[in-house]
A and B are shown apart, each in its own frame.
Chain A
């Protein structure tokens, strides 16, 4: 990702205030700054409430609040972690090819005036913070309805610190994968493959929900799921087009590619469902859209719109097929993080090696454009380096938590619902027989306000 590497280099120049610069200082570009400020808000929007509603609607009524809580809590905790150490580890100026060091811990050196390229460094750092938030939030889908809130917070903190921050450095922060020539514009490896494989490890470590797969565990509110998918789509334009860190021709191409791939993937998933199951479903439409967004994430700068369409279509079909794997292989990846993010991320990351064209901003030719297997090789190395690193570390961190404070709520809690037991709340208070809410509150005794 060339622009981000330039920024990492620029950040290095500005890190030491006493250094003498031979070059002239960059000037702040308002247009770019405005776009990245907006993109930052859009990417946060993807998590809160896009992903929150998408996942929330997929779980049972008794667990919906826990999902929303987990997303909100992750956003809060990871933001603090980013400030403390994340930005520095991911984008700091250390010489190492594996991390950025701690010289920018607590955002030291990030001043009101410091720039990252031609936007304020604080904007760049905040933009990247939203990526650090959504990556662990994606994993929520693997452990819903059975994880303890405290264990989830501890795991997320350790995982983001030890896995996401270094990987972000490898891919975007001047680390070895970016240097090797891996193309990952907005996070196919660092976000999706990373979270996707971690989700697999967690699903295995935590074990299946009680009664899975025989007990029906239907989504409680598919309308929330559709809304969540739509919000994710909207916000994703900030995720992809914002990763150019500029408002220019490249971000325009990226925006278009993102749009096209998403639509193609939705179509691909629906056709697959219609042929295989006899019905095209709304959940399929929502899922197909997300699969397309995932797959185009790494590739949006490297392919033509036709290439984006192909990537989307393939991702839609393959992910629709992949979500059935959990039943065959017997792991309860409850909300299909593996089937959508791992598979979609791999599809997009690897297809760059096939469909990349030098006419696109990344300027590389893939297999079908006469570039041979060179880029494909780099994509594979990048994809699998991140995959295995994440897999191994997730297992280690997860296992340690499992054998110390434990991961799962106990059986009674799981049966009565995590919302009630972990958060002392219930999401919907409409009374058992509806009746316009006339029955709500019956049987409750309040102690509020009595002192």
Chain B
């Protein structure tokens, strides 16, 4: 099992959700995060005092998937979240030790 973590632009969250739904992924977790890579932040003014904000709002989407469909998942997210502009985000894939469905106690792939 793999945990696929995608950091995307917030307004792309719904596109990513729909794209994952189309390949059969029906559950995910979304967190509101701040981050930066190559995209520049912005400057705010308060009575003439400048504040440079490096961190930009991003959406973090996490899905737990079977090993076999990881590549499809990555491809779906990339297509949905891509705008061609700096700041589109990144995807991280990590190993998932164990998954449990709380209601039934199912484990492993049955819990995905």
Pick 11 A–B contacts, CB within 8 A, sort by A.
Answer: A218-B44, A218-B46, A219-B46, A276-B48, A277-B45, A279-B45, A281-B47, A283-B45, A320-B48, A323-B48, A324-B48
Say if the beta carbon of A327 comes within 8 Å of chain B.
yes
Q: How many residues of A contact B (CB 8 A)?
A: 19
Residues 205-228 (chain A) with a chain B CB within 8 angstroms = 213, 216, 218-219
Contact A323 B51, beta carbon cutoff 8 Å: no
Name the distance in Å between A61's Cβ and chain B's nearest Cβ.
15
Contact A433 B32, beta carbon cutoff 8 Å: yes
Contact B32 A273, beta carbon cutoff 8 Å: no
Contact B51 A216, beta carbon cutoff 8 Å: yes
Question: Residue on A with the closest CB to B51?
Answer: A216
Say if the beta carbon of A336 comes within 8 Å of chain B.
yes
Name the distance in Å between A431's Cβ and chain B's nearest Cβ.
12
Say if the beta carbon of B49 comes within 8 Å of chain A.
yes
A216: chain B residues at CB < 8 Å are 51
Say if the beta carbon of A284 comes within 8 Å of chain B.
yes
Distance A279 CA – B45 CA, assembled complex (angstroms):
8
Residues 239-284 (chain A) with a chain B CB within 8 angstroms = 273, 276-277, 279, 281, 283-284
Name the distance in Å between A208's Cβ and chain B's nearest Cβ.
14
Interface residues, chain A, CB within 8 Å of chain B?
A: 213, 216, 218-219, 273, 276-277, 279, 281, 283-284, 287, 320, 323-324, 327, 336, 433-434
Distance A369 CA – B50 CA, assembled complex (angstroms):
42
Name the distance in Å between A228's Cβ and chain B's nearest Cβ.
15
Interface residues, chain B, CB within 8 Å of chain A?
A: 31-32, 44-51
Dominant secondary structure at the B interface: strand
Across the A-B interface, give the 7 residue pairs with the lowest CB-CB distance, nearest first. Answer: A216-B51, A323-B47, A324-B48, A277-B45, A281-B45, A279-B45, A277-B48
A-B residue pair count with CB separations less than 8 angstroms: 33
Name the distance in Å between A341's Cβ and chain B's nearest Cβ.
14
Contact B47 A287, beta carbon cutoff 8 Å: yes
B47: chain A residues at CB < 8 Å are 281, 283-284, 287, 320, 323-324, 336
B46: chain A residues at CB < 8 Å are 218-219, 281, 283
Distance A284 CA – B48 CA, assembled complex (angstroms):
9
Contact A327 B49, beta carbon cutoff 8 Å: yes
A433: chain B residues at CB < 8 Å are 31-32
Contact A273 B51, beta carbon cutoff 8 Å: no
Most chain A CB inside 10 Å of its own CB: which residue of B31, B45, B48, B51: B48
Contact B45 A218, beta carbon cutoff 8 Å: no
Name the distance in Å between B58's Cβ and chain A's nearest Cβ.
14
Question: Residue on B with the closest CB to A320?
Answer: B48
Distance A174 CA – B32 CA, assembled complex (angstroms):
63
Distance A213 CA – B51 CA, assembled complex (angstroms):
11
Distance A324 CA – B31 CA, assembled complex (angstroms):
39
Question: Residue on A with the closest CB to B49?
Answer: A327
Most chain A CB inside 10 Å of its own CB: which residue of B32, B46, B47, B49: B47
Question: Residue on A with the closest CB to B47?
Answer: A323
Known: A277-B45, A327-B49. 11 other contacts (CB 8 A): A216-B51, A218-B44, A218-B46, A219-B46, A277-B50, A279-B45, A281-B46, A283-B47, A323-B47, A323-B48, A324-B48
B50: chain A residues at CB < 8 Å are 277
A281: chain B residues at CB < 8 Å are 45-47
Distance A174 CA – B50 CA, assembled complex (angstroms):
47
Name the distance in Å between A79's Cβ and chain B's nearest Cβ.
32
